[in-house]
Structure 1
Amino acid sequence: MSDHSLAPVAAHEPPYYAAVFTSVRTEDDGGYGETAERMEELVKDIPGYLGMDYARTPGGLAITVGYFRDADAIREWSGHAEHRAAQRRGRAEWYERYTLHIAKVERSHEFERTPGD
């Protein structure tokens, strides 16, 4: 994944959707980084895509949360041909296990510390 700044995706006006992808990778890294960067670029072209947060623990658990305006945007991303090919390769080579949760966000807010807080 690309180097994200230390800022979460901004809160959006609900309702919207979150696709939570949690994974543990295999030792095989061949082509993973390039494919992840390509997916990150492609998803930005999906109408209704709102942003993505990503974190990885030192032990190897990775969590990617993609935010989408509606379920149609998630379906479009899920069915994208290059994304489907990356999913197949992920199951064959890169992931020991993963889970995907789709959730409707009904409440959203944010906080940012300002100087003097």
Structure 2
Amino acid sequence: MSNHQEAPVAPVEAFEPPYYVAVFSTVRTADQSGYAETNARMEDLVKDIPGYLGMDHAQTPGGLGITVGYFRDADALAQWRTDAEHREAQKRGRAEWYESYTLHVAKVERSHGFTRGSTADTAR
């Protein structure tokens, strides 16, 4: 999404279930004109959704991108899905920036985390 080099290298924490994830996997086109600016705007916009918990990003050298958005409940995820500005960005993405993508939405029933040096795992 935005400049990942500036982001801290740590996964989103393990939250108390249940919560929801949206897993967005993409392969982008060669022409990414305007993508970075729109992506930065979407990252700012989603933070204003009550119930938004965070986002993880990964990009393979071969071009597969994966973004996982975390949401406290289905209502928060629905609010993001139906946001007018987000819908416009989705249309532009299909028209210009993505060769292909998949979206998977799931309800998290178990969550676990580990950080080296901490005294305990965070199983939930």
1:104 matched to which residue of 2?
107
Instruction: List runs of 5+ in structure 1 lacking aligned partners.
Output: none
1:25 matched to which residue of 2?
28
Q: Does the alignment pair 1:86 with 2:104?
A: no
Secondary structure class of the residue paired with 1:51: strand
Match of 2:63 among 60, 63, 84: 60
Please report the TM-score for the alignment, with normalisation by the length of structure 2.
0.90
Match of 1:46 among 42, 49, 55: 49
- The total of aligned residue pairs comes to 115
Instruction: List runs of 5+ in structure 2 lacking aligned partners.
Output: 119-124
| Aligned equivalents of 1:71, 1:99: Cα separation in 2 | 19
* Sequence identity percentage: 70
Shift of residue 51 of structure 1?
Answer: 0.1
Q: Does the alignment pair 1:15 with 2:30?
A: no
Shift of residue 2 of structure 1?
Answer: 3.7
Superposed CA RMSD in Å reads 1.0
1:6 matched to which residue of 2?
9
| Aligned equivalents of 2:97, 2:31: Cα separation in 1 | 6
Please report the TM-score for the alignment, with normalisation by the length of structure 1.
0.96
